[in-house]
Amino acid sequence: MEARKNEKNEAKGKGGNKALQVDRPEIMPQAERIPNFSALPQAVKRRVYALKRLQVQSAHIEAKFYEEVHELERKYAGLYQPIFDKRREVVSGAVEPTDEECEWHSEGEEEDLAEDLKKKAALEEKKEDAAPAEDPKGIPEFWLTIFKHVDMLGEMLQEHDEPILKHLQDITVTFSEPGQPMSFTLEFHFEPNSFFSNTVLTKMYKMKSEPDSADPFSFEGPEIVDCEGCKIDWQKGKDVTVKTIKKKQKHKGRGTVRTITKEVPQDSFFNFFNPAKASPDGMDEDLDFTLATDFEIGHFFRERIIPRAVLYFTGEALEDDESFEEEDLEEGEEEDLDEEGEEEDEGDLDLTA
């Protein structure tokens, strides 16, 4: 049970600007925080209550700060969009980038570039005998490759999803307009295909950016609180979220047997667009964990996949993620070693004096 709680905490979906969030100290139980609060003079208690009221005011100002951050994200999304539109055109093959746009050099690629030039020269010498070089349209299976590279998405991906995701041309994010409740929407753009008639599948994540009146001190920025998917208009027999099974039934009286067929749910990435709804009483831990994981995935699409898609396609972003994980692990190991060292030092103390 404790492991599940830890997983739920890790999967909590935050919608604020990660760069602006800092690690917060672990909050101790109230009895440990103020062991002698009841013994304080009444005049001091009054002043502490005044400070708490100030803290609540601070939380409301922080909420306004995150609302403005959301507006900045919406503003800059418009500035990013022409770049993402060009990315989509290159991926789909609608536009062929110029030689100048394709110039790219890095330390690790210099040797590969030199080798490519040698091979190109050799091919030109024998071009009359050489077969035409393969030149597929755009970047085939760009988004499907990203799904396979990212563990979080790969776990959702099933073999029967792959032929459909080969038609995925772009993933974009839009933000709620000023004056509307805070939210963001993921849009999955598909080329015409034989699986469904939709050209865009959407998933909207609703966010809350205000302190809870019952616990205002827990406020840490915007939080995803709900999500809505969309209806997929599947072509007949193409719905990969269900499978057809045959079941034999025996009549109790006559003993005759008949075979019936029925549809049952099956795992698929496309269940992502039909999310579960939170229980009214909030007492279903498994459902809460499922929703928290969903929120985490939505946030990951928005914050990482969409802005840095090419780096997840090449795997470079994965290397960066692994580097951060290794660095955190090394720091944790050092802390453990320090603690062990302290214990050993205590063991060496001369207690005979």
The model's pLDDT over 197-254, given as tens digits with 9 standing for 90+, comes to 999 999 999 988 788 877 788 777 788 888 999 999 999 999 999 998 888 777 777 7
Is the pLDDT at 22 greater than 50? The verdict is no
Using the structure block, give the residue that is written with the tokens 């409301």. 60
Which amino acid does the sequence have at 28? M
Q: What is the pTM of this model?
A: 0.72
Q: Which helix (H) or strand (E) holds 63?
A: helix 42-92
59-79: average pLDDT: 89
Q: Cα 24 to chain center, whole Å?
A: 22
Q: Where does the pLDDT of residue 192 fall: very low under 50, low under 70, confident under 90, or very high at 90 and above?
A: very high
- The residues pairing with 189 across neighbouring beta strands, listed in sequence order, are 170, 200
The contacts of residue 35 (CB under 8 Å, 6+ apart) are none
Return the higher-pLDDT residue of 52 and 116.
52
Look at residue 320 in the predicted model and tell me its pLDDT. Answer: 65
Using the predicted structure, report yes or no on whether residue 264 has a pLDDT greater than 80. yes
Assign 163 a pLDDT band (cuts: 50, 70, 90).
very high
End-to-end CA distance of the chain: 48
3-state helix/strand/coil string of 205-246: EEEECCCECCEHHHCCCCEEEEEECCCCCECCCCCCCEEEEE
Among residues 4, 72, 56, 2, which one has the least CA distance to residue 293? 4
| Calpha distance 16→207 (Å, rounded) | 9
CB 67 within 8 A of CB 182: yes
pLDDT at 248: 79
Whether 66 and 16 have beta carbons less than 8 Å apart is answered as yes
pLDDT at 167 over 70: yes
Q: Rounded mean pLDDT of the chain?
A: 79
Cβ atoms of 166 and 193 within 8 Å: the answer is: no
Rounded mean pLDDT of 274-293?
A: 79
* Cα–Cα nearest to 202, from 221, 169, 181, 227: 227
Please check the confidence at residue 276 and state whether its pLDDT lies above 60: yes
For 81-111, what is each residue's pLDDT tens digit?
A: 999 999 999 999 999 999 999 988 766 665 5
Report which secondary-structure segment, H or E, holds 75: helix 42-92
- Taking Cα atoms as reference points, which of 336, 35, 65 lies closest to residue 221? 65
- CA torsion through residues 151, 169, 224, 55, sign: positive
Looking at the domain 41-98+137-234+268-320, which fold is it?
Arylsulfatase, C-terminal domain (3.30.1120)
Give the pair of three-digit tokens for residue 211.
């302190």
What is d(CA 74, CA 178) in angstroms, rounded to the nearest whole number? 9
Band of pLDDT at residue 21, cut at 50, 70 and 90: very low
pLDDT reading at 60 higher than 60:
yes
- Residues of the chain with pLDDT > 90, as a percent, come to 41
Domains of the chain, by residue range, sit at 41-98+137-234+268-320
pLDDT at 171 over 60: yes
- Whether the pLDDT of residue 323 is over 90: the answer is no
Say if CB 191 and CB 183 are below 8 A apart.
Answer: no
Give yes or no for residue 347 having a pLDDT over 50: no
Q: For residue 148, what pLDDT is reported? A: 96
